[in-house]
Structure 1
Amino acid sequence: MDHMEYDRRDVQAAGFGWSLGGGDADNSALMRRTTNVVVQRQSQRTELVVGSSVAEPSRPMRPSSQVAQPTGHSLGSSQLAASSSSTSAAPSQSIEHGRPNQVVRFCLRMGYNALLYPYEFAKVLIQLGHEPLQAQPFYLPLLGGRPRLFLPGVHRYVQHIQQVDGYVGMYRGLTARLAACTVDFLLGDVLLAILRFGPYKREAGEEVSLKEFWWNLTRDSIRLATAVALSQPFYVVMVRQIAQFVGRERVYEGVLDSLVLLVKMEGFAGLYAGIVPRLLGELVVLAATSCVSHLCRRLLPMSRPQQQYNAAIIQMLASLLMYPLEVTSACMAVTGAPLSACEPPSMPLYHHWADCLTDLYARGGHNRGAILFWRTVPRIQLLRRQDGQLSTPGF
């Protein structure tokens, strides 16, 4: 339909604008101008075709097999399939590349626990109240010259363990610790898989809602409770193997043999000694971290890295507040064991974890091991030592 073509530049050159004012006269003039332009263009095209056919020599015909395939927008079916497959595969590859590798994270976690295990060994002994090193007085002139007694830091404590028990003794209980991490990694999501409790799926354009918060909090609580319940027997074995350092006993040797001995001496309840304060502390830390992080996300404008740093700081503060429950769990894990570290006079015999927590607060030992590098003797122990009611270990 060449006779209906319309060239804007030809119309403007002839004096016609886009706003022609309407009417039959204007439209007829426009159509006459358009027809003349079309006739001139057809004559020019005919002359060009005739001239090119005369100037170029005749070329032989090629068979259909040698005819080049058209390029541009007309692609073959194979090319279209390849392009569509590559396009669909690109997002999935980018998603898989951005997703963290769980196996790599697990291996890094195992190496981290093995590397820093001597410090965890010393921390558990501090939680149990074993202080073999002498406290040193330190004077603070700004506080009226009152002396404070400072215990050696965790580095000096690790050196003492190495001098007494050698390098091998520094890693006593490491097998049970790694077994607990392995069980947590492999079986931590078993209950969620049975309940088919998947992560919350947010719709497109949906903001963070209260429903999503409760969904994720419930799911994380189930995951945490499952991990604590499955790893608690290995935690009890680890703490008791570490406690053998105090009296130089050899009662709990090996993970499987220790589990069998626990069942024979205390029944299956002995495998879960101290689980209540440990589980309670972990759940409180999770709930506090989730609630405060959710409020900060809703009320304060923060980027994603800032949200992660904020959650880490909140979790650290919540763990510090719930630290007495961690000390209670370590003490209850060894209560009743035939070890000198968990018998009087080293440790009273506790029948309930609430009694243990109350006694720790009364003795000032509820924060034992919370600070590993600048440790002071609690004030209540100094007062009792002056009154002759209690002999502080390490003096």
Structure 2
Amino acid sequence: MADAASQVLLGSGLTILSQPLMYVKVLIQVGYEPLPPTIGRNIFGRQVCQLPGLFCYAQHIASIDGKRGLFTGLTPRLCSGVLGTVVHGKVLQELGPGNVQKDVSSSFDRVIKETTREMMARSAATLITHPFHVITLRSMVQFIGRESKYCGLCDSIVTIYREEGILGFFAGLIPRLLGDIISLWLCNSLAYLVNTYALDSGVSTMNEMKSYSQAVTGFFASMLTYPFVLVSNLMAVNNCGLAGGCPPYSPLYTSWIDCWCMLQKEGNMSRGNSLFFRKVPFGKTYCCDLRMLI
């Protein structure tokens, strides 16, 4: 019980601290660019035309809604985090530790069993918390059209149910689930391969290095599965009655596969993945004096 409470408190603290970052990221993901590009320099020192980064974007939001505006959508996101942590722990507890012996901890069979348990727990948590995730995203996207349709948690639940029914609470669920599952299997499989074949067990600091490899492979797996996150978020706000989810800001997608194909065709599968060095997308027109680059 104490471990669960500490996990909830730690998760809630991280959620609060990262809320402005997620807010900016979501607005960038849906393609909202309120600020013109500026002249900057890339890592090679060459002048380039780049879009404003995280801090400039956050300052723009704060200049309109104040600093409190940077925490829009925090309540449903906190609910999602707390509920997800509880469900995840309960499912793992119900599944038990498994019947794989500790002396075969390096075997791939153990990796498969542990990853399967984790996959079931994460999927259950995602399924239960996705309605809160949808409300979080829509309350953020309201900034684009200056609407107030999804302001309170209870009012948002009533609005979604009245306009879209039960299915409205699960918009974008499939790509989110797929992304989580693929990322988990990639992370654990790559970590197993690195720990088993790339690292020498004779090194004294091997246990510490193996713990680092899990974090590195997790980061690599999340990068590979980022398109699923992007598509899921776009489908969660697609055609929901907000300006940010309808033309001319965003096209209407018939399915998440249609969204995926359109983003891939436009070359926007990584939109929002970077918040600091943001280059102007190819073919996109902005009010930027490119003659300054000569």
TM over 0.5: yes
Conserved? CA contact 1:176–1:237, under 8 Å:
yes
Match among 67, 88, 112 for residue 167 of structure 1: 67
Distance 2:167 2:288 in 1: 34
1:252 counterpart = 2:154: no
- Residue 368 to residue 204, structure 1, CA distance change in 2 (3 Å): closer
1:273 counterpart = 2:171: yes
Partner of 2:292: none
Question: Structure 1: which amino acid aligns with 2:85?
Answer: F
SS in structure 1 at match of 2:113: helix
Partner of 2:77: 177
Question: Structure 1: which amino acid aligns with 2:200?
Answer: P
Q: CA RMSD in A?
A: 2.4
Distance 2:30 2:288 in 1: 14
Distance 2:82 2:200 in 1: 38
- Residue 251 to residue 324, structure 1, CA distance change in 2 (3 Å): same
Conserved? CA contact 2:92–2:121, under 8 Å:
yes
Shift of 1:312: 0.6
1:157 counterpart = 2:57: yes
Distance 2:21 2:36 in 1: 19
Question: Structure 1: which amino acid aligns with 2:24?
Answer: A
Shift of 1:151: 0.7
Partner of 2:140: 242
Structure 1 stretches of at least 4 aligned residues deviating more than 6 Å after TM superposition? 139-143
Question: Structure 1: which amino acid aligns with 2:237?
Answer: V
Partner of 2:37: 135
Match among 241, 253, 274 for residue 338 of structure 1: 241
1:318 counterpart = 2:221: yes
Conserved? CA contact 2:183–2:221, under 8 Å:
yes
Partner of 2:186: 288
1:329 counterpart = 2:235: no
Q: TM-score, normalised by structure 2?
A: 0.89
Distance 2:157 2:280 in 1: 36
Match among 351, 364, 369 for residue 254 of structure 2: 351
Distance 1:133 1:119 in 2: 17
- Residue 129 to residue 207, structure 1, CA distance change in 2 (3 Å): closer
Gap runs ≥5 in structure 2: 290-294
1:105 counterpart = 2:3: no
Distance 2:160 2:220 in 1: 35
SS in structure 1 at match of 2:194: helix
Distance 2:158 2:114 in 1: 37
Distance 2:229 2:109 in 1: 31
Gap runs ≥5 in structure 1: 1-99, 386-391
Count of residues paired in the alignment:
284
Q: TM-score, normalised by structure 1?
A: 0.67
Shift of 1:314: 0.8
Question: Structure 2: which amino acid aligns with 1:115?
Answer: L
Distance 2:247 2:167 in 1: 23
User: 1:22-41 counterparts in 2 under 5 A?
Assistant: none
1:375 counterpart = 2:281: no
